[in-house]
Every structure is written in structure tokens, then in C-alpha cells.
Amino acid sequence: MKASILATIAVCTLSVLKVSAQSNTLQTVQQFVVGPQPDGWSFDFQVSRFLPTTNTDQLVEVALTLAVHSDYPQFTATASQDNSVANWDVTETVTVKNLRFTADDGCDDDQDSTAVKELEIGTELTGSSSPLASGASQVVPGGGIDAVQPTVILTNADDLVRFTGDPNNSPKSINIKMANKQARTLMFKPGNGTFTPARKDYHPNTSATLTINYYTSTTANAVTVESGYDTNATYLILPAAGKYSCSTH
């Protein structure tokens, strides 16, 4: 009878030892916001790479979203001859590139073939006036325009490696370049006329928000994971015009 009881205890003990921590998928959201800026602009900055908390952590997905907002000022088109038609086409295009890392851990220029264009989206103000008599004007109200690129989902290993580093021997940040390119066409056709303000003085303002989501399979809790990103954030290179935030849940 005693031998049987001891055997039962041994089996129970072995069963307890087989229990292991369960992995959860945690989402870490990094966001970088550039406030309204006129004309063409560009900013180099950094976000954190995937930072494993334990040696079993695995990055399973990266989701990227780019949202832009452009404020187009009002302008006036005035014809200088009969039957003149004003035409306008103004675009604001924001691009996000993942730059090559350099040994000095700085943000390098993207004039190289290894810079990966991750995202690109823009806004456009376009239209034509009715035929105008000489000296007649038409006011174009302008206004705010929003654009959001559909979320880009990355799960392929070749894509995920761009956001992953060796925690023992690699940089813990990614060099990003966000740039806005502006194109403006203001003209009369057929006929002729003027625009107020003139094309060279027409300055829309564009802001942009880059959101990067890391989905990590981990046995750690959200507080532990986030503490690593919070510590790393103190070393990130960020421009004065930008605002960075990070949260894990």
C-alpha cells in the first residue's frame, strides 16, 4: 500500500514539472507624428527595432500605416482674356524609407540602393474653372484633405528581418526618413491669366503620422515588454518637429 501511494505522488510531481509558461501575442505600437509643415520637407528619425524580452520571443508580424493631412490655401484665378480657363493640380506626396544602418548609429542619407521604400501616400487638389471673361475671377476655396494608405502587413522572414536585430550585437534602432514632395501646376488653357497668390508663393501645409505595430509571441507580460522600449526610446534620434510615442498591450 505504501509503495502505491509513493508512486502516485511521484507521478503528480512529474506532471507539475511539465507545466510551462504560455506564450501570448503582444502588440507594441510605435507612432511618429510630423506636425504641419509647408512645401517639400524631410526628417530623419529613429524607431526601436523589435526588442526581445526573453530568448524565446519571436516577431511574427509588422503592420505599417501612413496617414497624411494637407491644408490647401484658398487662391484666386483671374483671366486676362475672354474664354480663359484656369487649371490647377497640386499634390503633396509623403514617402517613408527604411534607411541603411551605419556604424556611427546616425541617420544616413537615403541616396543608396539599400533604402527600402516602406510606404507612400499623398493628397491632391485638382480642378478647372468655368470659361472666364477678361478681368473676371474665380475663387478656389481649397481646404483640408486626408489620405490613409491601407495598412501594409509584413509576415515574410525577409521583411521581418528589417525590423529585427540581435540583442547582443546590433543597433537597437531603425533609421527612418519621412519626406514630403510637392508638385504644383497653376495655368490657364486656353487663354491666359494670373493666380493670387502666384504658383511660387502657394504653400500648402502637410502633416503625417507613421504607425508601426510589432506583434510578438512572448511569455513576458506587456509591462515587461514595454519597459524595454521605454528605456531604448531615451536614445532614439528624433527631430524637434516630430513626436514619438510607444505602448504595448
Look at residue 9 in the predicted model and tell me its pLDDT.
Answer: 34
Chain segment 27-81, per-residue pLDDT in tens:
999 999 999 999 999 999 999 999 999 989 999 999 999 999 999 999 999 999 9
Q: What is the pTM of this model?
A: 0.87
Chain segment 104-159, per-residue pLDDT in tens:
545 555 455 678 999 999 999 999 999 999 999 999 999 999 999 999 999 999 99
- Residue 170 binned pLDDT confidence (cut-offs 50, 70, 90): confident
CA distances from 60 to 52, 169, 195, 223 (A): 12, 21, 53, 19
Tell me how crowded residue 46 is: count the other CB atoms within 10 A of its CB. 23
Look at residue 112 in the predicted model and tell me its pLDDT.
Answer: 57
Please give the helix or strand (H or E) that residue 182 lies within, else none.
Answer: strand 173-188
Look at residue 21 in the predicted model and tell me its pLDDT.
Answer: 66
Q: List b or e across 157-196, with b for residues whose CB sees 16 or more CB atoms inside 10 angstroms.
A: eeebeebbbeeeeeebbbbbbbbbbbebebebeebebebe
Q: Sign of the CA dihedral 208, 244, 237, 60?
A: negative
Look at residue 248 in the predicted model and tell me its pLDDT.
Answer: 98
Look at residue 177 in the predicted model and tell me its pLDDT.
Answer: 94
Cα 230–chain centre separation: 19
Pairwise CA distance, residues 99 & 115, whole Å: 5
What is the mean predicted confidence (pLDDT) over 182-208?
96
Higher pLDDT among residues 18 and 170, named by residue: 170
- Grid coordinates representing 33 are 507624428
